[in-house]
Amino acid sequence: MQERGFDEGSAVLLTLHSPRQKFFGLLLRLTSAGMELRGAALESLDDLARQVRAGEPCTVSTVFFPMHRVERMELDEPAGELASLAESFAAKAGRGLEEVFGKIGGGERDA
């Protein structure tokens, strides 16, 4: 099994506080000041997947969360038989996470 870290383009799940929320997306940048992600609030991920599958117009957000709001960040990985969030999203949307959220890296940020 290959070791992975929190690299640019990694799918991550953030748990935030004040107010409490969860955000899922692709990591754009991680600094001591905070983190920049492209994605969606976890509670809207299923709706986003349905919109994508139906061919409806939809957008994802590029957001910055200051480090003082971040309670936890975890890589989106499958756990045994349980699929990762990215795998579940792709199955529901009919398109891969990178295709919907945009390619990361190489100086290009296409949504």
Locate all alpha helices (DSSP H) within the chain, ordered by sequence. 45-54, 85-93, 97-101
On the question of pLDDT at 81 being above 80, the answer is yes
Q: Which residue has the higher pLDDT, 44 or 107?
A: 44
Question: Residue 69 belongs to what H/E stretch?
Answer: none
Output the CA torsion sign for 94, 98, 102, 103. Answer: negative
Topology of the domain comprising 11-97: SH3 type barrels. (2.30.30)
The band of 63, judged by pLDDT with boundaries at 50, 70 and 90, is very high
Note the pLDDT of residue 1. 44
Measure the CA–CA gap between 104 and 55, rounded to whole angstroms: 23
Pairing of strands 70-75, 34-41: unpaired
Measure the CA–CA gap between 35 and 64, rounded to whole angstroms: 6
Compute the average pLDDT of residues 71-95.
Answer: 94
* Minimum mean pLDDT range among 24-38, 49-63, 97-111: 97-111
Note the pLDDT of residue 35. 95
Whole-model pTM? 0.84
The band of 15, judged by pLDDT with boundaries at 50, 70 and 90, is very high
**Ranges of each domain in the chain:** 11-97
Note the pLDDT of residue 73. 94
Looking at every residue in the chain, the average pLDDT score rounds to: 88
